[in-house]
Amino acid sequence: MKKIIIGADHAGFDLKEAIKPCLVEDGWEVVDQGTFDRSPVDYADFGGPVAMAVATGAFSRGILVCGSGVGMNILANKFPGVRAVLALDADMACLSRVHNDTNILALAGRRTDAAQAAAIMRGWLATAFEGGRHEQRLDKIRQWEQKICHKELPQEEKP
C-alpha cells in the first residue's frame, strides 16, 4: 500500500479531515501528524514533522494544510530535498509535478473547498515528473541546498 503523511493547523483541520477519506479511497495509507481538532496551534508544530519525514525519505510525498497554505509552504521549503507547492487549482498542482517534481502539496484550508482540494490532490498524486530538461534545473536546486547546508555562504565583509 502507498503511504502518505499529512498535517494541518487549526485553520486547515477541516480540509485535512475532508481529504483523508479520498486518500484512503484511492489506496493510500494515511499517516496523520495532526492537529486533531480546531484548537489554535502553530502550523510549524505540525508541518515540521511532515516536512522532515519527506526530507529524510521516510515518505516520498506529504500534504500540508493551513488557512492560506502559505505558512506551511514556506516552512516545508526550508527542509533540504523538499520541493513544496502551494496549489490553488489542479493545473498548478500537476505542473508542479511535471516540471518541479514537487513532493509536498500545500493546500489553503480557508480558500479551497473539499471538492477542489480532492481534485487538486488527486491530480498532483497521479502526475509523474517529466525529467529531461527539468532534471538539470532540479540538480541546480540541489547544488544550492548543498552550499547552504554545508554553510558555504560567503563571509560578510567587515568595514
pLDDT in tens, 121-157: 999 999 999 999 999 999 999 999 988 887 554 555 4
- Residues 14-40: tens digit of each pLDDT: 999 999 999 999 999 999 999 999 999
Nearest to 130 by CA among 86, 95, 87, 83: 95
- What the block records as the C-alpha cell of 132 is 529531461
Residue 158 domain-assigned (yes or no): no
Which residues are part of the catalytic machinery?
66, 99
Count the Cβ atoms, other than its own, within 10 Å of residue 45. 13
Q: Could you tell me the residue range of the domain that residue 7 belongs to?
A: 2-131
Residue 140 domain-assigned (yes or no): no
* Distance separating alpha carbons of residues 134 and 103, to the nearest angstrom: 15
Residue 151 domain-assigned (yes or no): no
Residue 115 domain-assigned (yes or no): yes
* Distance separating alpha carbons of residues 75 and 132, to the nearest angstrom: 28
Nearest to 9 by CA among 30, 48, 35: 35
* Distance separating alpha carbons of residues 20 and 26, to the nearest angstrom: 10
Can you give the CATH number for the domain in which 41 is found? 3.40.1400.10
Residue 45 domain-assigned (yes or no): yes
Residue 149 domain-assigned (yes or no): no
Looking at the chain, the whole-number percentage of residues with pLDDT higher than 90 is 90
The tally of domains found in the chain comes to 1
Q: What is the reported pLDDT for 38?
A: 98
- What the block records as the C-alpha cell of 40 is 489554535
